[in-house]
Amino acid sequence: MNSVRSLSCLTLISLCMQLLGSTSSASTSLWGKKLSFKGRPCMWQLQPEAVVPALQELSACMLLHRTHTPEWTGFDYKAPGGGHTELGLGGTGTNLSVWLFGEKHSLERDLKLHEWHTVCLTWSGRARRLRIYINGTSKYDTSVNPILLQQLAPNGSLTLGVSHYINTNGEVQQQTGKDLLGEIGLFRMWAREWSAEELRGQSCADGDVVRWDLRQWQHKCQPEPDNNLHCAWSLYKINMWFKVHSTQPGNCLVSLEEVTRNWLESIFPHNISVHNILLSSPSRTCHVVNNFAALPTQQSQPSTALSNSTCDKCFSSEVYVNVDPAANVEVVQANIASLLSSTFSYDFLNLTADPNSISILPVELLPVVPEPLPTVSSGTATPGPTQSLPARPTNVSTTGDPLDLNETAVGPDTFFRVNLTLSMYGSPTKPEDIIEKWVKEQLEVNVTMIVLNLIIKENVGRNMEQHNGLMIFHGQPKQYYCTFHVQEYNINSVAEILTLINATLTSGYKNDSIIIQTMDLAIKHIVTANCLEETTSTIYGQYIWPEAFPQVTQTIGCQRPRSEIGFRICKLDIDTDTTSWTKPDMKNCKPLVIISDLDNITVTTGNAAEVVEMIQDLIDVQLGDSAELSSSELDTVVEKLREVVDISSIKPAIGADIVNIVADILISKTYVTPVASILLNLTDRMGNNMDFHEGSISISAPSLALSMVNVDQNKFSGLTFGVSFDSSDLNPEIFVNHSFVGGLLPDTNATISLPSELHNFFPSGERNTTRVQFQFYGTDDLFQDPQTSNATQRSCTLNSFVVSASINNSLINNLKDGVVVTLRHRTPKQPEDKVQCVFWDFQKNGGRGGWNSRGCETRSISANRTSCLCDHLTHFAVLLDVSRTPISDADSQILTVISYLGCGISSIFLGITLLTYLAFEKLRRDYPSKILINLSEALLGLNMLFLLDSWLSSFSNYSLCIATAATLHYFLLASFTWMGLEAVHMYFALVKVFNIYVPSYIPKFCAVGWGIPLVIVSLVLAIDKDAYGSAVPEESAVMLHSTDQFCWLQNDVFFYVTVVAFVLVIVLCNTFVFIVVLIQIRQMSSNKHSTNSRSSLHDLRAVASLTVLLGLTWSMGFFSFGPGKVVLMYLFTIFNTLQGFFVFFFHCLMKENVRKQWRMHLCCGRFRLSDYSDGSRSVTMGGHCKKNHLINSDSVASDNTSTIRKVSDSSTGSTPNHHQGV
């Protein structure tokens, strides 16, 4: 830090005058960054201007971090035209492959996933040698085939992370199937073969063929910073153009090298020394080079004197500097670029560097230093003898003593606190992501500011959004509150930055249907302090962290291994606007102690926090290397945690660490049953002993949450604790309500409500406060009861998460009011399933614990949650009885497939049936055909809506979902109404044998068949339109067989009254008519003198036809319970989804007059029938030749058996000989 404090006044003044913006070198550097390849299209291609020459030897190195095992590509270089791979790196599984001149070299080498590896390959054409190095060690050394080319094809195409090919237009295209899933860093290429010793030196020098700089690459995705990729280095080359302007045009006789050296030595801190300066001849214009692969080619000169002819000219320079001690490359690049961005005045001369031409490159060696002779009067200089400096400084290693990054810094950055309230119009799926993207794009566009610690919260109390069931109607804007820090590192004036931030964030945002408007904006300048020097003792050793500026990452060499580095950030806290050290990131280091060494540590009040931190680090290391702790390691950790809890009061920070340790153990594969009771007791005592001054405190970790509340004994009126938990991210969210809530809190998985009666059980004493503790467990590893954990003998399964409540130093039981525990089911309960409220009995199963239902009353609310009323406090959960025969997940999926497949088939054949009857007028003359047409229309609508329902509900449109559910409900009721009308017509035809005059017979049937369902659906919409929505009632799951989003009736009352009861009435009436028909058929058969098999088969087909028409197969849904449930469910699904197909089969395919119409109009040749063959036998009642409206005629009534035969003929396809149809 001494170098920071010793900056000259001139340097500080020049820094304050810097313009808003960043130099090109700093903004385009890829050092300290990685390229992420996550499966989306992401190709990094070498710029066409960055030409790879014809190389006779080379070295290429890269950092590789794989996350998945499929075939991958590290880099791919192809000759012009895109033929074979000239040079490449890739692999499959445990094989590593290198391509050289189209020839593949493979070696068995498993690059472990989720770890960084250094992979280098070197080749020499002269020596005909190829070598592969992994993590600095030679793994492959072979001779190259002498037949192959001895130089690399120039001007080829190079891609990173993906293989590629050249299309007919000469464009580089990504070749799929070999994409890397992982990350790449520090890809560089040199025009010489590096030795093994040079590679082991872990040089940070940039490549001289391909460099790690953004200006050399075309890319489709942005690089990402990574603290693991820092590389400390001392030797740098600075290339730039600068302009010299004289305020005294007549006086230009001064040494340009002297002026340049004076300039650089004035602005650089003392730890950056100028080694050598080379200048070009003067030019009238500065040649800005966007691609720094093509550097200025003018002849450099060791010294140049200004003359009258060279004033106000541009020069290109090549400056070599030494940074001592070594610092991270990206830090040095940013600091030097920032220092060079201001105009420098030297007597009557002004020097200004072109920021777009500046490049700062880490180099392997410094050049020979020319020693100039004394300057003669003419102003020219003559080179003298030269001497060589050491090839490499002694402080270039990335290991060893702590590296003070601030040695090259110029001062702390400027920080601001921004509080922003905004309104968003539109309904994006992830509004927080849209806001974050907008804020960062607005403020980070000029690469002079960074947005830090961004927090976005929806301002629910101010929103005017309407919530309707499970859908949301987006008609009003949402309000969001944002708070974040802004780090400005160009050191402009505070007033300028405040003005810029205010103007940027008040400009608003509009993209398609999304509009963001700023409602309120408050910006505050924060004066931050440095993080002071600190010594830490960890399992990795003792380290001294130097003083650091805010948001600066310090690095330090590991004690083991020496080649790795640890990191620590001086973090600016979003809550307090103060800085503090974060926990050191030492994951690259190896620990010096192991878990068993904890037995040698004595826990005291002074080292409790240090011991807990050591345990956390050891568990992180152990669970990082393996999936579980051994039993001895687990015993050691639990015993040491018990000592920590027993030795003293627990601070919240220590308590949070203990909770995280327990959570890490629980989510691992460690077998914790032997110590389950100890861990449960430990967390309970920790909560009781925690020392905090607030009214309450909550601690959460993956799958585990604790909340401690200090309540006033005299003012206690109840308390409610709730937890929202998502198994996908394992992070519970805690809610505490200082009142009694009898049900489930909104958006929670578990709620426990304590009645006011509990104040009678509070311990008496001098203090007026009592500690109430709640706990939540998102895993059941600590609650292994043989009744639920034994896969072969279990009769119950745990169907909820576990929640508990306790009061310190009190035993709570025999409560009169009772504790209300409401738990959401992990698996929806089926109608026949039985649930039971239980608590964890520590004394059960010989002291190992088990579930007990004593003192708990089960109050099942719905299929998704259960309410329990218990007279004591402990750990509560819900058990699901699995001893019955439930529908398995496999059966449920099969039934779902059958449902959709059957409905699709029925829709097709119902459409064919309708087209047949509507196209051929002779088929629709009688009443049964007209009723059949209406039934087919209703069934077709039902099947089509069922198939489209899930797709329509996926739009999450509230109005669309109501319309879909109501329409589906309507067609379901219409289908059953027309089935009932079929029965009514049969009843009139078969039972009422006397003449019945019914005017407008079919119109009245239509009014009833389509009108009654319309009235019912309209009444439901009028009473409560929210009865429809995106949910599947558990009771209707029998019909739907799917848990996907589905627009249907949500209200149980409406469902039972308008669906279950309606269907039951229709089915019962149709069953009665069906029985009557069976009796008539039986009587007819008995009256006949002789029977034959053909007649019996004819009657059987008639019965099957009537079963389909009357919808009697739907009755199986009312009997789908008990041991035969699964079989009945399959039969129910098959017969009812294929009802439309059966209608086609019996009333089209099996009907003779329908087949005749098909043959007359659709066939040709010998299969075609003439109209004459049909005769007049199909003239039936309802035709135009009869004007009366008699259901039966005397001729038909005189012979009841003929009427029955008529029904049989109509159903099975025989053409009747009567003029009466039923």
* pLDDT for position 394: 33
- Burial readout 632-649 (b: 16 or more C-beta within 10 A, e: otherwise): ebbbbbbebbbbbbebee
* pLDDT for position 1201: 36
CA angle 797, 801, 803 (to 5 degrees): 125
The segment with the largest mean pLDDT, out of 79-83, 680-684, 786-790, is: 680-684
Backbone angles phi, psi at 427, to 5 degrees: -135, 65
CA angle 845, 849, 852 (to 5 degrees): 90
- CB-based contacts of 1168-1176 (< 8 A; 24+ apart in sequence): 1174/922
- Residue pair 570/579 in contact (Cβ under 8 Å)? The answer is yes
Position 636, amino acid: T
279, 283, 506, 522 from 310: Cα distances, Å: 13, 8, 49, 52
923, 1174, 1218 from 1177: Cα distances, Å: 12, 7, 8
- For residues 52 and 191, give the distance between their C-alpha atoms in angstroms, rounded to a whole number: 9
Compute the average pLDDT of residues 14-23: 38
* pLDDT for position 482: 94
Backbone angles phi, psi at 39, to 5 degrees: 100, -25
* pLDDT for position 1214: 42
CA angle 1155, 1156, 1162 (to 5 degrees): 80
Return the closest-CA partner of residue 88 out of 70, 69, 102: 102
Beta carbons within 8 Å of 71's beta carbon, 6+ residues apart = 90, 91, 92, 177, 178
Residue 176: Cβ-neighbour burial (10 angstroms; 0-12, 13-18, 19+): exposed
Beta strands across the sheet bearing 449-458: 449-458, 478-488, 414-425, 514-526, 509-511
Compute the average pLDDT of residues 85-100: 88
Position 196, amino acid: A
With 70 as the cut, is the pLDDT of residue 1041 above it? no
- Residue pair 510/442 in contact (Cβ under 8 Å)? The answer is no
Helix count and strand count (H, E) for the chain: 26, 53
Give the pLDDT confidence of 443-463 residue by residue, as tens digits. Answer: 887 778 889 999 999 876 544
- Burial readout 429-438 (b: 16 or more C-beta within 10 A, e: otherwise): eebeebbbeb
The tokens describing 357, both together, are 């031409």
Is 653 strand, coil or helix? helix
Give the pLDDT confidence of 1072-1091 residue by residue, as tens digits. Answer: 888 888 887 777 666 665 55
Position 245, amino acid: H
More confident residue, 1172 or 781: 781
Position 737, amino acid: N
More confident residue, 658 or 1129: 658
pTM for the whole thing?
Answer: 0.46
3-state SS of the chain: helix, strand, coil percent to 5? Answer: 35, 30, 40
- For residues 442 and 444, give the distance between their C-alpha atoms in angstroms, rounded to a whole number: 6
* pLDDT for position 1179: 36
* pLDDT for position 1033: 38
Give the pLDDT confidence of 1116-1154 residue by residue, as tens digits. Answer: 777 766 666 778 888 888 888 888 888 888 888 888 888
Backbone angles phi, psi at 1074, to 5 degrees: -60, -40
The residues facing 901 across adjacent strands are: none
Tell the residue number behind the tokens 């060079």, with chain if given: 340
Instruction: Please give the full DSSP string across 247-280, using - where no structure is assigned.
Output: SSTT---SBHHHHHHHHHHHHS-TTEEEEEEEEE
- Residue 788's pLDDT band, with cuts at 50, 70 and 90, is confident
- Residue 636's pLDDT band, with cuts at 50, 70 and 90, is very high
Compute the average pLDDT of residues 1041-1061: 77
Is 109 strand, coil or helix? coil
Backbone angles phi, psi at 774, to 5 degrees: -120, 145
Backbone angles phi, psi at 213, to 5 degrees: -145, 140
Give the pLDDT confidence of 689-704 residue by residue, as tens digits. Answer: 888 888 889 999 999 9
* pLDDT for position 810: 78
Tell the residue number behind the tokens 């009781």, with chain if given: 688
